[in-house]
Amino acid sequence: MNSSFDKPIESEGDKKRKLWRKLFLINLCVSLVLVAAFWLPQKLVGLQKFLDSPSVDIPGEGELAKKKKKKPVVPSPPVQLANLLNTKVATVNASSEKEYVYFDFSSGEPVKIHDPSSLEWDLAFRRSKVISNGGASSKIGQAGLIDLGVVGFDTVTEVPTENYVLDVSTRTDTENSVLLKPYNYNYFTHKLKPKKNVYAARTADNKFAKFQFLNFYCDNKEVGCVTIRYVYQDNGTNSFLKSVGEVSKASIDLPPAAKSTTSF
């Protein structure tokens, strides 16, 4: 007959060993939770940046990754800064969640627009959202955009003349697919960081500019103040090099990359 006297009596050492096992398992579980909460989001952000990198070539479905022979890179001849059109910087306060702020490359300033179907603006900003004066956003504007990728801003001496992407209408809004996400979002800090991409813009009146985002934050740390650096070519060509006459008038002292800064 079984009774309580048949059960072995645990020694003090056995009790301590069981207690240490439980504490070890608890510490292990807590460590795994902390790793999942802090380390994993950073790794996911790093993985997303890696996948967004232009150097990443993921094979399509059903395809095997093959090593491609790299073509030798032929360095471009250096461009003298004196030959480049001056780069300007502008900050547009577009912190409103409802209203667009319209920007004109030719003047380098925001403009008040009563009818978006005009040639008086090229880009429009609403917080971190950007559209252009062409396609679904305008009846007569010729504006469009091209993503030139991560390249040196001053190395872009000319931009394409064709194949610019126009705005399209969606169920809820108007957008340009080139600038759906001109920033990287940090899931850990919840901050926006501008991508280093350089963009080509065909303006509303069929001229050309290049620009790059520098910041999306106002002085009070709120999202909505968009800062870009840009070069606008007003003679209708797609080149950002000065003409012979302009170069001859240039001073021997080279101007800084960002000659003028405008804030609105």
Map the chain to HEC letters: CCCHHHCCCCCHHHHHHHHHHHHHHHHHHHHHHHHHHHHHHHHHHHHHHHHHCCCCCCCCCCCCCCCCCCCCCCCCCCCCHHHECCEEEEEEECCCCCCCEEEECCCCEEECCCCCCCCCCCEEEECCEEEECEECCCCCCECEEEECCCCCHHHCCECCCCCCECEEECCCCEECHHHCCCEEEECCCCEEEECCCCEEEECCCCCEEEEEEEEEECCCCCEEEEEEEEEEECCCCCECECCHHHHHHCCCCCCCCEEEEEEC
186 forms beta bridges with 191
Closest by CA position to 246, among listed 111, 49, 237: 237
Shared domain for 158 and 231, answered yes or no, is: yes
pLDDT for 20 equals 81
Question: Is pLDDT at 207 greater than 80 in this prediction?
Answer: yes
> How many percent of the chain have pLDDT more than 70?
70
C-alpha distances out from residue 63 to 47, 76, 196, 228, Å: 22, 34, 30, 40
d(CA 224, CA 111): 17
pLDDT for 25 equals 83
Q: How many domains does the chain have?
A: 2
65, part of any domain: no
Q: Higher-confidence residue: 136 or 22?
A: 136
Residue 123 φ then ψ, to 5°: -125, 155
118, part of any domain: yes
pLDDT for 236 equals 94
67, part of any domain: no
pLDDT for 51 equals 47
Contact residues for 5 (Cβ-Cβ < 8 A; gap 6+): none
Shared domain for 42 and 86, answered yes or no, is: no
64, part of any domain: no
230, part of any domain: yes
Shared domain for 130 and 231, answered yes or no, is: yes
Report pLDDT digits (tens) over 71-128: 555 555 554 577 999 999 999 999 998 899 999 999 999 999 988 889 999 999 998 8
Task: Retrieve residue 252's tokens.
Answer: 């021997």
4, part of any domain: no
Shared domain for 228 and 124, answered yes or no, is: yes
Report the predicted TM-score, pTM, of the whole model to 2 decimal places: 0.65
Shared domain for 187 and 130, answered yes or no, is: yes
Shared domain for 33 and 97, answered yes or no, is: no
Shared domain for 218 and 129, answered yes or no, is: yes
Structure-token match 């501008």, residue found:
194
Closest by CA position to 119, among listed 243, 220, 207: 207
1, part of any domain: no
- How much is the average pLDDT of 190-213? 96
Structural domain range at position 85: 81-263
Shared domain for 101 and 157, answered yes or no, is: yes
Band of the pLDDT at 14, cuts 50, 70, 90?
confident
Band of the pLDDT at 257, cuts 50, 70, 90?
very low
Band of the pLDDT at 13, cuts 50, 70, 90?
confident
Task: Give the up-direction half-sphere exposure of residue 117: CA atoms within 13 A in the CB hemisphere.
Answer: 5
Shared domain for 41 and 85, answered yes or no, is: no
Shared domain for 85 and 197, answered yes or no, is: yes
Shared domain for 89 and 128, answered yes or no, is: yes
Band of the pLDDT at 264, cuts 50, 70, 90?
low
Shared domain for 96 and 218, answered yes or no, is: yes
pLDDT for 72 equals 55
Question: Parallel, antiparallel, or unpaired: how do β-strands 87-93 and 109-111 relate?
Answer: unpaired
71, part of any domain: no
CA torsion sign for 38, 181, 227, 233 is positive
Band of the pLDDT at 44, cuts 50, 70, 90?
low
Question: Is pLDDT at 10 greater than 70 in this prediction?
Answer: no
- How much is the average pLDDT of 178-205? 94
